[in-house]
Amino acid sequence: MKLLITGAWQSAKEQLDALRAMGHEIAFLQQEKDPLPVDPAWVEGVICNGLFLHHPIEAFSALRYIQLTSAGFDRVPMDAVKARGIRIRNARGVYSAPMAEHAVWGVLSLYHQAPFFLKNQAEARWEKHRGLTELAGKTVCILGAGSVGTECAKRFRAFDCRVVGVNRSVRENAAFDAVLPMDALEETLAVSDVVVLTLPLTDATRGLMNAHRLACMKPGAVLVNIARGAVVEEAALIDALQNHLGGAVLDVFESEPLAPESPLWAMENVIVTPHNSFVSDGNAARLNDLILQNLREDADA
């Protein structure tokens, strides 16, 4: 297959010999916004992230295979992909472990008042805090029971939480105490101490956590967003945090980078990270294995 590989696959250059040994011809593009190194009509397969944000997919007339380095499909013109019967693979499972660890870390940081203690450490101040909260015994709602949601469920259950998944399709998953359909979302929000968002961004999920659903959340609950920023209506979230929510762990935002004037930065009950939850020293090996295995399975399909 004639493959265009972009720098979104960070260790791609280390894999070029293996790819050529598999019979592929390779063209490489470091920055996806830059001019293409080949005629797009030459390309039969791409390994990329946001390539089609900068180069129209219509120009790739021979394209039959896409491998994404991301778990989400929201940066790809999926209507065109489906209409042309292009085989598309994502990076399912590659980033699930670090994202799940990030979710647990964030909730524990709020429950155990990490910002308070870190501030005191920086100022060499010895001061106890009597308002710490246990994670054990809490009910955790994970909205999106896919790979990331499953890894989150495993870790929260290890802390003796009751974990309920809410998902578009309901199927048995041993990592959860229960998996419920989307029409059970609001009643589940009402009894959950922690709500973790791991679902993809689609037309159906954009703005899903709006003012009404945020109001359905249990007073004092913590919202964790490691999905996509646009799943949450940010203005409504800010209002909810100033009123009945206990806190939020936010790694993604409607507009990134988060504007310096956003009140989220200064809220003591909010942890802000810069779309960083997926980062891990284990990602490269998992992504390499996944891409090479998918190519072996799909190159001749």
Active site residues: 228, 256, 275
Residue 163, classed as helix, strand or coil, is strand
Alpha helices in the chain (DSSP H): 16-21, 78-84, 96-111, 114-122, 147-158, 185-189, 211-216, 234-241, 283-298
d(CA 110, CA 241): 13
Residue with tokens 């998902």: 167
d(CA 299, CA 301): 6
Residue with tokens 């679902």: 199
Tokens at 176, concatenated: 């959860």
Tokens at 73, concatenated: 């499909």
Cβ distance 108 to 287 under 8 Å?
A: no
Contacts (Cβ under 8 Å, ≥6 apart) of 211: 233, 236, 239, 240
To the nearest 10°, the Cα dihedral for 201, 232, 164, 226? Answer: 70
168-177 LR contacts (CB < 8 Å, sep 24+): 168/204, 173/145, 175/150, 175/151, 176/142, 176/145, 176/150
